């Protein structure tokens, strides 16, 4: 879940970094988990190995959506629908942008952000998306079932 773009859990899911209970540590996943939930929460949960709820995972940023146990599939379908209404190139560029700007001061990435939007605005996908918005209609990739 620490490396997922979007993590969904049921309300009754229980999480835990319980390796210390076995005399080991969550070493391999630690860079990803610490980056996602922070060092303070990692200290607490890595050292105690205690289990925690989906709500706590949500509060820590490990989970983005909590669904009722019988509503997991519906929650995932809603997210997939949202993804399918977005441009595939834009999603890819957004993922790249997030990685590039994370933990950096805005002034350090000004040129990157300006270049990114300038480069994307002229793509066929962006032109179609903006045209569709102005025409108050779905973009073609939505009508086609995804780009």
Secondary structure, 3-state, 64-113: CEEECHHHHHHHHHHHHHHHHCCCHHHHHHHHHHHHHHCCCCHHHCHHHH
Q: Does residue 1 belong to any structural domain of this protein?
A: no
Mean pLDDT, residues 48-56: 97
Does 18 share its domain with 70? yes
d(CA 91, CA 132): 17
Helix (H, G, I), strand (E, B) or coil at 16: strand
Q: Which domain holds residue 43?
A: 8-76
Q: Does residue 3 belong to any structural domain of this protein?
A: no
pLDDT in tens, 8-26: 999 999 999 999 999 999 9
End of a domain among 28, 55, 76? 76
How many folded domains does the chain comprise? Answer: 2
Nearest CA to 36 among 65, 18, 54, 60?
Answer: 60
Sign of CA dihedral 32, 35, 37, 42: positive
Domain of 129, CATH number, reads 1.10.12
Domain of 30, CATH number, reads 3.90.226.20
* pLDDT for the residue numbered 142: 86
Does 70 share its domain with 12? yes
Yes or no: say if 62 and 36 are a contact pair by the CB < 8 Å rule: yes
* pLDDT for the residue numbered 144: 66
| pLDDT of 110 over the 70 cut | yes
């Amino acid at each position: 879940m620490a490396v997922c773009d979007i993590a969904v859990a049921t309300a009754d899911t229980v999480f835990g970094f319980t390796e210390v209970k076995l005399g080991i540590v969550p070493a391999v996943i630690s860079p990803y988990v610490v980056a996602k939930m922070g060092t303070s929460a990692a200290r607490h949960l890595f050292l105690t190995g205690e289990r925690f709820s989906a709500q706590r995972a949500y509060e820590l940023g490990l989970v983005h959506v909590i669904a009722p146990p019988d509503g997991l599939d519906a929650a995932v379908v809603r997210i997939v629908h949202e993804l399918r209404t977005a441009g595939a190139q834009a999603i890819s560029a957004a993922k790249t942008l997030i990685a590039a700007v994370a933990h950096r001061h805005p002034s350090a990435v000004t040129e990157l952000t300006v270049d990114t939007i300038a480069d994307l605005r002229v793509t066929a996908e962006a032109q179609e998306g903006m045209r569709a918005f102005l025409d108050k209609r779905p973009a073609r990739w939505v009508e086609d079932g995804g780009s």
